[in-house]
Structure 1
Amino acid sequence: MTDKEINELKDQLFYKPKFAYDEYDEKALSEMEEFSKGYIEFIDKCRIEREAVRYSIAEAEKHGYKEYKIGDKLEKGGRYYYNNRGKAAAFIRVGKKPITEGVRIVASHIDSPRLDLKQHPLYENSGFAYFKTHYYGGIKKYQWTTIPLSLHGTIVRADGSVQDIAIGLDPEDPVFYITDLLIHLAKDQMNKPLRSGIEGEQLNILLGSRPLPGASKDVGDRIKLGIMKLINDKYGITEADFMSSELTMVPSYPARELGFDRSMIAAYGHDDRVCAYPSYKALFDSTDDKNTSLIILSDKEEIGSDGVTGMQSLAYMDIIDELAKTFRASPAKVRANSMCLSADVNAGFDPGFPEVAERSNTCFLNQGVVMTKFTGSGGKSGTSDASGEFVGKIRRIFDDANVIWQTGELGKVDQGGGGTVAMYIANNNIDTIDVGVPVLSMHSPYEVIAKADLYETYKAFRAFIDWAK
């Protein structure tokens, strides 16, 4: 064979990943930038799951979606949203096809690692007032010190009245802070393993240092009292109301375009709101209403997807059962003919830490949406391993829609691992595979994604929802 024939054979037989910027024309670049603007607004305003639910439902209502509660009547062509206790949501579009042909499901999660306030959080020590926290999800604790933090959540008073708060995002707001030890005195700390340099009980939020005006030095806890008085004046709560409130500290960094070329986005909470946003946008933008579609924004994924708002809740399968019952179909048949994209992120290859990845089976930024056949750890423990037939079907859907996509695993075998909501959906006899955005610095207070991958993820979800076969 000639060199030319050999090279032609290589082109024919070898897999070659696509690089988004080699494929994009000016129209695609413009669409990518426009989509990214909307996402930056969303990720900036939605720091916790409750905020993401309110934001997405407001968008749904603009597109004609009406509130649905379990047991309500569903109609062909209907558009509905389900608000699961203010912390998770689902969006339903009833298609023209028989419900027995199944439901197209895209399921993401809208919770992210954070610092939750304990139920008795407020205390005073040595001239400072603090909040005690209990971290939520997998974090590197040292990353949460010496950064600006904002307070978000919901206050529930003794009389049952509720108020949402967000302090620390507006430039006029104060921020909050966790101290760290100065390097000059950190000899012992620096000799500890990295995971032990900061302990969970050291993640205490600095709130203030001024005593209650008029309180003499003989008054105990006068700084704590001063802080509590400020909180009471603004929100009408007493210390006891913390016990029934859900308050959390998150980074107050604004979402920003990253790099001289502005090709990336840095923000808190890409995992997994970077998949939630394009999932519901894909549904709202879809004009093909043949397929019945269900978009799920779930809660509690970072701590196992348990509870009434997590993916293991029966709430989401109840929606499918209600769809089946409405149109006199077998719920089991509807589930068996449904298919799902578990919309979650994967770890993008980081040249700064190449040793944790196996390059042939990792995902890269700017190479499109990543399809992850399985997650788990070690010997594929704790995962849904999608069938080859289902992977092939998703390949065809993406290729038919000119989606730029890649595959990837979560690091080297035995390096670590992780999980998604995929297995909880697959356990209901629904073919499921993970599809999402590659992320750098995942689970840190400030994560990084590429605009091109975000846009290709939107295209992938749209193609999946609209696929006619």
Structure 2
Amino acid sequence: MDKKTKGQELAESILTDRKSLPEGNPGIMKDADAFCEGYKRFLANKTEREVVEYVLPILAEKGYTEYSRGTKYKPGDKFYKVNRDKTILMCTMGRRPVSEGVRVTVAHTDSPRLDFKPHPLFEDASMAFFKTHYYGGIKKYQWTTIPLSIRGVVYTKDGRKVTIRIGENDDEPAFLITDLLPHLAQNQMKKGASEVVEGEQLNLLIGSLPYDDEKVKEKVKLAIMSILHEKYGITEDDFETAELCAVPAFKPRDMGLDRSLVAAYGQDDSSCAYAEFMAELDTVDPEYGTVTIFADKEETGSDGVTGMRSFFFRDFLEDLAQDEGCEVRDVLRNSVCLSCDVSAGFDPAYPEVMERNNCCFMNCGPCLAKYDGSRGKYSTNDASAEMMNYVITQFRDAGVTWQIGELGKIDLGGGGTIASEISVHSIDTVDIGVPVLSMHAPIEVTAKADVYMLYKAIRAVYDSRKPKDF
């Protein structure tokens, strides 16, 4: 082998040389494949309610108990607190008192979808439909002519809570939103992408057979309602208490001949939620306590009692502080947080929206984002140099591979994350998440190696025994 030149040696020592995870560590895919089998099972839970319901028995099996205010927890104790069946905090008590801070991760478990309107059921042209109101940022045209399932809860007049989940299994009916055939779409195709399909056209086709009674006016509507009444015991009035939505009925699957990718709905941000969940479960005897959060309402601005703008998180930390006789302001000031939110992966089909020096690539590890927001860093959390140094030091010490970038070109890109809702409490916060292709589409794509490395990155922070000294 030729001897390296002085310039080559200098370049190796002072220039960044990013390699893909499989290239730099050929053995990683075995671990990533195994890790993502559990991840795909996790992805089958497509709403925030389903995620909380899914993790509770796992937490019980792993020795977690429901948080009880006033309890004197010991180092290594594990507990959780649920907020209205949609948000959950999971904790492992650290050796150090909470006054010296905790290590927080937060990811949202809601995803773009089609929520039902309060009066959704209607009949037209001898067909029955559910009217929807889209939730979060979507390209509306992507949601037509794909199989959709119905999920959610309804409360009946007698106070019963009814869970509905239909359209996923092979022996169940599917639902879809129709689109115009190309032969008649001359005018439609002249419209801009945001107008090709309008919000009021996102009506879910649910049936076409009439009820057998000539004196009934809306026969198909009645027939559909009679099926729902027979199966679930609900009436049309009960839709006013319902929380129902339509989500893609696709099952999470390996993607690619090499099975290196995952194709599934809701990976923004279930990829982050699963990584932090597994890191929480695997954390034993930490120096600093951990607080792992599944949050709701990210797609609509984090508002509401289950969003991160509520006081649920701060109230919980205040309870922990009071349990130890300290001030919550000290807990907050001494804590650090990883806001686990995905980034856009570089797509060679659309290179014009990215600035290559500062974007994230598939299979190159989780992406740190010092700041997000849009245009002139508007509406952003901007992690300090001290916070970046603290987190990156943990990664280096633990052998974690990461990358750093922005969400597209300055005047094109941008977006908000939970980081702004956490840092407002005086917690130093930085964003980290896996690169995603086709973000917010009915099916998104992630790389298994990136999801696995995000888990290792969170473990590095949870397992660190280094204090925050800034």
Q: TM-score range by the shorter chain?
A: over 0.9
Cα distance in 2 for residues equivalent to 1:73 and 1:445: 44
Name the SS for the 2:270 alignment partner. helix
**AA at the equivalent of 1:380:** K
**Where do 1:385-464 residues align within 5 Å?**
385-464=382-461
CA distance 1:74–1:188, shift in 2 (3 Å): farther
Q: For each residue in 1:197-237, what CA deviation from the matched residue of structure 2 results, as whole angstroms up to 9, or x when unmatched?
A: 0000000000000011x222x52111000000000000001
**Where do 1:197-236 residues align within 5 Å?**
197-212=196-211, 214-216=212-214, 218-236=215-233
Q: For each residue in 1:122-178, what CA deviation from the matched residue of structure 2 results, as whole angstroms up to 9, or x when unmatched?
A: 000011000000000000000000000000001111222112111011110000010
Indicate if the aligned counterparts of 1:153 and 1:246 stay in contact, CA closer than 8 A: yes
**Where do 1:227-376 residues align within 5 Å?**
227-376=224-373
Cα distance in 2 for residues equivalent to 1:309 and 1:19: 38
Indicate if the aligned counterparts of 1:81 and 1:92 stay in contact, CA closer than 8 A: yes
1:361 to partner: Cα distance: 0.3
CA distance 1:356–1:74, shift in 2 (3 Å): farther
Note the aligned Cα RMSD (angstroms).
1.2
Question: Structure 2: which 5+ runs fail to align?
Answer: none
1:288 to partner: Cα distance: 3.2
Cα distance in 2 for residues equivalent to 1:416 and 1:115: 25
**AA at the equivalent of 2:350:** F
**Where do 1:177-216 residues align within 5 Å?**
177-212=176-211, 214-216=212-214
Runs of 4+ aligned residues of structure 1 deviating over 3 Å after TM superposition are none
Matched, 1:165 2:156: no
Cα distance in 2 for residues equivalent to 1:3 and 1:25: 24
Indicate if the aligned counterparts of 2:109 and 2:295 stay in contact, CA closer than 8 A: yes
Instruction: Specify the alignment match of 1:20 in structure 2.
Output: 21
TM-score using structure 1 length: 0.97
Cα distance in 1 for residues equivalent to 2:148 and 2:434: 26
Matched, 1:49 2:48: yes
CA distance 1:441–1:369, shift in 2 (3 Å): same
Which of residues 53, 73, 76 in structure 2 aligns to 1:75? 73
**AA at the equivalent of 2:122:** Y
Cα distance in 2 for residues equivalent to 1:416 and 1:464: 29
Indicate if the aligned counterparts of 1:346 and 1:437 stay in contact, CA closer than 8 A: yes
1:74 to partner: Cα distance: 4.5
Indicate if the aligned counterparts of 2:79 and 2:90 stay in contact, CA closer than 8 A: yes
Cα distance in 2 for residues equivalent to 1:67 and 1:146: 43
Cα distance in 2 for residues equivalent to 1:206 and 1:413: 41
Indicate if the aligned counterparts of 2:188 and 2:196 stay in contact, CA closer than 8 A: yes
Matched, 1:130 2:136: no
Cα distance in 1 for residues equivalent to 2:269 and 2:159: 31
**AA at the equivalent of 1:114:** R
Percent identical among aligned pairs is: 47
**Where do 1:96-115 residues align within 5 Å?**
96-115=95-114
Question: Structure 1: which 5+ runs fail to align?
Answer: none
Cα distance in 2 for residues equivalent to 1:244 and 1:267: 30
Cα distance in 2 for residues equivalent to 1:252 and 1:169: 5
